[in-house]
Structure 1
Amino acid sequence: MSASRSGFIPIADVPDARRTHLFHPERVSVTVEPGVAWPGFVLEDLRTAWHLATLCHAVYHERQAVEETLQTFGWEWIARVERDGVRADLFRRGETIVLSGCGTRPREVQNLRHDLDAAWVAHSAGGRVHRGFADAWSTLRAELQELPRPNVVTGHSLGGALAILAAAEYPEVGAMIFGSPRVGDVEFSENFRGRELIRYQGPADVVCQLPPKSLGFSHAGRLAVLAESRRWLDPDPSTASKLRRRSQWSFASRLPWLHPRALWFRELADHAIHNYCRILAMAAKEG
């Protein structure tokens, strides 16, 4: 197996399985797709999903590295909030203001502490939530008070957990998250029944399986699985399980461990925000 001339390592239906994409998304350029117009926040529109996923990728970067790129497809960077290693950015397009939470950055020890602190804490909206995620959100909440209030929240990985907690406090916002862990228990997740919240995940994304259901954690919102180069919206558990097994097999059958720069497991490759962006761009262009 060899990389393409561009340096990409396509394996099965994963656009790029390089380790850099997972561990250093800030080193991977934000890709502009001029043909994917912004339709506004439309929950089931793949174009909306691509734009928000791209903002999730942008938040990993330093502002000066991507601000001009964002402007080319219509987004203005309003502000960055960062405290104790937890980061979120505000973006604007017309009347839409998006709060985008940043995912785990391996060099930020506080991020790892928040991820691992899975003790329960009560939530004011009802139910219980992951204490580490709640602490991470609380570090940002005060900083956001003086900034424009978002009407859309998004985030990848840990940022997805932050977006869910933000949506719990701002019940009028729409939410779209990518590769998010479980945040609360069943009672907390019930707060989002009927809300505009959609949760994208790669078919085998390991972070989406954590913390485990056996500990009482539950996902919130509607599920959209990006598998076999398309979106599967609201799949039943049996279909989601089949997609996971098929994706794992197709990935392993291409022998990724033969390439020194590749991720060896589909569970990891599926979590890279760049791959969410690439698959959504392809799906949006195909309609």
Structure 2
Amino acid sequence: MQKFIGTGVALVTPFNEDLSVDFDALIKLVNFNIENGTNYLVINGTTAESATISKEEKLKIIDVIVTTNAGRVPLVLGIGGNNTLEVVKDIKTTNLENIDGILSVAPYYSKPTQEGFYQHFKAISEATEKPIILYNVPGRTAKNMDAETTIRLANDFENIVGIKEAGNNMQQYLELIKNKPKDFLVISGDDDLALSIALAGGSGVISVIGQAYPKEFSTLIKDGLEGNNKEGFAMHFRLMSIIDLIFEENNPAGIKTVLQELGICKNEVRLPLVKASATLQAKIANFVKNF
């Protein structure tokens, strides 16, 4: 699955001041990323505030991104949840003609056993022929999917091609890289660990900060994949403080503040999320100005 190696970005959903979707800003964001080295785009993930976007809005967002992309880079669509039957239904009823892969989050809130994780993703795998990237993010789902479960799924289902691992757990990353099937992708979901994971044998990143600094972050990941640790860490150190800042309060309030400073979109978010505090906005503005 060469198309998912490198830098993917989890796109935000820009909003107008009335909290309607700002499609002009979305088009601007997509073009900015494609023109500056992002390898693939992730649509309607957590960073897109998918929990507070309606089904109708999601379909329009997909349509606008597909049209804007015009086949230039691969597209990955977030379809996941804790109601397995509903996720399977969504996959079967969504037009995936222009979608290259599905990113599916581990079931949240329900806290399944490891066998529950396995059966959930087995059902999803059997619902489509599209490549599936698993998404383990225990900080949001309240339960970790163990490396052993991921490797079991990777061995048993041909279309489960990778995992976005976002537990900020270096030991689990290394277990995955050590024990994975040859072509299975271990993708960092942690911007702060992305370079280290690429250097250790991972396949790249699905990034949040990457959409604001696509040229710099994709260069960093390329250096990691090619084993250029000195150059990679030089860029990592330049970006370290902004990576910390965007996650200081909540995601995507932080990254939307960066994008506002760059003139790409407003920093509006939908409740229960709130905008970055004035203190955080000032810190981010200072970083952007001096980068």
TM-score normalised to structure 2 length? 0.44
Question: Structure 1 or 2: larger strand share?
Answer: 1
- TM-score of the superposed pair, with normalisation by structure 1: 0.44
